[in-house]
Structure 1
């Protein structure tokens, strides 16, 4: 749970891409030191990650690093994402971990530190080194423990969900500007008008919307994206503590009217026949393929959609985010201060060389190449310039960087909360949405209220289990302005 508190998931659709790309193998070795100047280096360091679709960026960085550091070679191993945490744990139990590794999602980082997996890097990560990062990048309880630095943020908070627009479908429906460009929707009414035009002009042969909910997650993306634009802090598409409304320190699915309004809007669209009829039975990968083929004009997903479409040479789309009732979003996407990416193993016999690779990956230049190669947003805001991106759809994504900011973080206010273990509540919001969409749930408000009560009770129980050092008030940030970044000061 502490991992959920200290790190919001959503840009990080990259892990899902890695898993999809590497299915079928528990371990795929990708050594990158065979045909480069570093292959005969005096020291070879081992490096593990789970990056598959991002492998091109990593391999290029290894090549550049070895050219600049002729004495060091990097041997990379890319693990399957859903096996990564287990393989790292096994490596430590076998006393044979890599010299440097992407920090696994589990166990919580606090536990990785307490188990002596990771090496503090303060010897090299001086105050001067830290100063090149944005303010509040190094936070006790997030990437700093007992005053010692173990890792650092690599990516900036990102707009995790976007509404994707199929150019061909929109043009066929006459949804264009005077110059012939596609008329992109900004408001809820714009989206509704576009949906009506697509359905009408195609004679019902093309659906306005589509998604793939066979894994019971995609419907929550629709609720999350639209509710943020209306002025609620989202939470429908994320699990654990991150789904909370930190303004009041509670879940508000049943008390914040925006959630019911968005669900009613979605059901209105469904009743008009605007959704692809098999959306509940196909998966997200199939939905991406159907969108690519123009079976529907709009879908919701993340930047993880783009690599597959690019592979298929499909570029005829645009993306927008946070459509709102008025056209101006009243809430944004939020990520925590601090962050994690790679760390040096405490067992490394080549810590200085591992640090050199660590330092390289965290350089502004490597971050700039990360953005320019279409992988994500950089922690260095100056790197997030759409003008440096040649691929138009990804440039649009980079241009949305301002829609994601740092949000409240309870563990900074009270580090005792890193001990909190929040029990999962079932049925969850995904189950409720599926029940409403299929007609099994008639009393929507009642279902939302029941879910809210159960989740808030689970939180109360978890806080009680932490002990006297924790309180429900630790989760409430009454001064939070949803349109601005939030900085939590320890003890505030």
Structure 2
């Protein structure tokens, strides 16, 4: 299956946007925005409408997506416009929370049967598990077929966001590049380095980080990251995986879709972690990085306290938002020899926003999603803010919406570095039952997790990373095999081979023809 979404990038005028969760962008500090904590019944107010006889329906929305943070965020501006247009009839109250707060709050709400009308999948879970747990209501009958047709091909896939023929969510973004080198031009210039020539190799990155740290004299450092995050949001695991993709892209991220086996103990991962340890030994990492939240790290980067930050596509607009005077550039993450790294995405997103199964206002929630939350007016604001590429190509192709010069580089990096990887759910939708059994492919029930292991070795609490990762892989591979065996015993037509794509060429998009070859 070849994605029209990434093809759409070819048309862009580039010269002129996860236990883990999720795919979407995460915020990292509570904004203290009003609304959303009370139930819809308790918060509904009688506004009278034009005749004074109609009660205003209040829709509650909870999420950890950073595009909901702050009154000027694209999400809050979209909600304000919707509320104004529907005054006296429907009002949406959105509550933004940092992921750590959100994960706890949404679990408590589910346990007490008080989920908000619309909620985001928490980290380290996905749509398949949410549906199996009975938390969500399908969109069918609430949103139109025309609404679905506005999205790019492959946006809705059985076994991902469509379960047993019913639709439960939509792709929040277009293709997402999860690894970008952000470099502070002013910091490089002050250290006597070329601000227009970012490092391309590991050696260059290490040497430049040393020079910046030496000239910074305890105030400015070479590298910063959000090491205080957990799970898939961990700045440590993001850093390592970003580097590993320049060596062995099919193994970066821990699961090798060629073999259908977990590969956290790959040489690429171990070598990348060793490089991170070298930066630490050099003293080139800003010391607070090991406890910083991701947003805190980007603020320090934007304030000129570090030269380099490796993070995903969301960091660009967050730096712009929180430190608007920052003078920075974007580049591909350095690799051992300067070669181009490769990163991957899938067309249908197993995470996103869903309508609660307990919602008493599902019809109005569906109207809000169709007319505002998952509609062109929102995605226009989304692109104009630089959040990400959207799942609607006509918006991505509108160069008049590009917010600042850095966005052109951002688009070019997406075009150059992203490829469509194989998806086990496309090959066999019944693999959804395996994922429900596991919680997610990352198997969040198995502790300590990948980021926990990296952090324990980086801090010196543990030794021998290869041995720890081999043991972790063994647990994960056994878990996958056991889950497949269990659902097969229950009647599912599924096999471990459904997770194996031996014909995957990582330098190309994985297409419908490639799936057909496996049959």
TM, length-normalised to structure 1: 0.79
Matched, 1:475 2:499: yes
Which position in structure 2 is the counterpart of 1:44?
57
- What is the match of residue 375 of structure 1? 387
- Per the TM alignment, residue 379 of structure 1 is displaced from its structure 2 partner at its CA by 1.0
Aligned 8 A contact 1:125 1:149 in 2: no
Please name the residue that 2:333 is paired with.
322
Partner of 1:12 in structure 2?
A: 24
Instruction: Verify the 8 A CA contact 2:44 2:56 in the aligned structure 1.
Output: no
Superposition deviation, residue 168 in structure 1: 1.6
State the shift of 1:138 in Å. 1.3
What is the CA-CA distance between 1:223 and the residue it aligns to? 0.7
* 1:83/1:428 CA distance change after superposition, 3 Å: closer
| 8 Å contact kept, 1:187–1:324 | yes
**Higher mean C-alpha deviation, range 22-31 or range 185-194:** 22-31
3-state SS, counterpart of residue 60 of structure 1:
helix
Residue deviations 1:116-157, cap 9 Å, x none? Answer: 654443346555443321111111122212212232222123
Aligned match for 2:366, one of 351, 355, 358:
355
The change in CA–CA distance for 1:479 and 1:322 in structure 2 (over 3 A counts) is farther
Aligned to 2:378: 366
Contact 1:436–1:442 (8 Å) recurs in 2: yes
Q: CA deviation at 1:249?
A: 0.9
CA deviations over 1:250-285 (Å, ceiling 9, x no partner): 12233x322232223233333333333454355545
Give the 3-state SS of the residue equivalent to 2:262 in structure 1.
coil
In structure 1, the residue corresponding to 2:30 is in which secondary structure?
Answer: helix
Deviation digits for residues 343-374 of structure 1, max 9, x if unmatched? 44556666554433221222233212111123
- Selected match of 1:158 from 176, 198, 212: 176
Cα deviation for residue 233 of structure 1 reads: 3.6
Asked if the contact 2:39–2:60 (Cα under 8 Å) also holds between the matched residues in 1, the reply is no
Asked whether the 8 Å contact 2:434–2:483 carries over to 1, the reply is: no
Match of 2:151 in 1: 133
Change (3 A) 1:395 1:44: farther
String of CA shifts for 1:426-470, please: whole Å, max 9, x gaps. 444334433443455554433433333333233333333333444
1:32 to 1:321, Cα distance in 2 relative to 1, 3 A: farther
Counterpart selection for 1:248 from 259, 263, 269: 259
Give the whole-Å Cα distance in 2 for the aligned partners of 1:282 and 1:116: 35
- 1:326 deviates by 4.2
Aligned to 1:89: 110
1:149 to 142, 146, 167: 167
Corresponding pairs, count = 469
- Cα deviation for residue 287 of structure 1 reads 3.7
Asked if 1:456 is matched to 2:456, the reply is no
Q: SS state of the match for residue 184, structure 1?
A: coil
2:244 to 227, 249, 270: 227
SS state of the match for residue 300, structure 1?
A: strand
Q: Which residue is equivalent to 1:331?
A: 342
SS at match of 1:465: helix
* Matching residue within 281, 285, 296 for 1:275: 285
The match for 2:413 is: 400
Query: What is the distance in 2 between the residues matched to 1:8 and 1:44?
Result: 33
Q: Deviations over 1:262-319 (max 9, x none)?
A: 2232333333333334543555455445434433311223425753663344422223
Distance in 2, Cα, partners of 1:269 & 1:366: 41
Distance, in Å, in 2 between the alignment partners of 1:461 and 1:350 is 40
DSSP 3-state at the match of 2:301 = helix
Matches for 1:425-464 after TM superposition, within 5 Å: 425-439=446-460, 443-464=464-485
Report if the CA contact (8 A) 1:28-1:77 is conserved: no
Please list, as runs of the form range in 1=range in 2, the aligned pairs for 1:269-308 lying within 5 A after superposition: 269-280=279-290, 284=294, 286-302=296-312, 303-304=314-315, 306-307=317-318
Structure 1: unaligned runs, 5 residues or longer: 1-5, 237-242
Work out whether 1:61 is the aligned partner of 2:78.
yes
Deviation at 1:82, TM superposition (A): 3.2
Q: Distance in 2 between matches of 1:477 and 1:147?
A: 25
Q: Could you say what secondary structure the match of 2:307 adopts?
A: strand
CA distance in 2, matches of 1:39, 1:105: 41
The structure-2 alpha-carbon separation of the partners of 1:158 and 1:389, relative to structure 1 and needing over 3 Å to count, comes to same
Aligned to 1:3: none
Counterparts of 1:114-125 in structure 2 under 5 Å?
A: 118-123=136-141, 125=143
Do structure 1's residue 171 and structure 2's residue 181 form an aligned pair? no
Asked whether the equivalents of residues 155 and 378 of structure 1 are also in contact (C-alpha less than 8 Å), the reply is: yes
2:260 and 2:500 in contact (8 A); partners too: yes
Contact 2:181–2:332 under 8 Å retained in 1: yes
Quickly say closer, same or farther: Cα 1:425–1:68, change in 2 above 3 A: closer
Is the contact between residue 411 and residue 417 of structure 1 (CA under 8 Å) also seen in structure 2? Answer: no
Equivalent in the alignment of 1:240: none
Give TM-score scaled by structure 2 length. Answer: 0.75
**Contact 2:209–2:223 (8 Å) recurs in 1:** yes
CA gap of 1:207–1:33, structure 2 versus 1, over 3 A, is farther
Q: Does 1:484 align with 2:500?
A: no
Alpha-carbon spacing, 1:185–1:125, altered in 2? closer, same or farther (3 Å): same
With over 3 angstroms needed to count, the CA separation of the structure-2 counterparts of 1:281 and 1:64, relative to structure 1, is closer
Q: Distance in 1 between matches of 2:51 and 2:209?
A: 56
CA shift in 2, pair 1:196/1:75, >3 Å: closer
Long gaps (5+) in structure 2: 1-17
Find the aligned partners of 2:20 and 2:325 in 1 and give their Cα distance: 30
Provide the rounded CA distance (Å) in 2 between the counterparts of 1:154 and 1:283: 23
Quick one: distance in 2 between partners of 1:8 and 1:215? 11
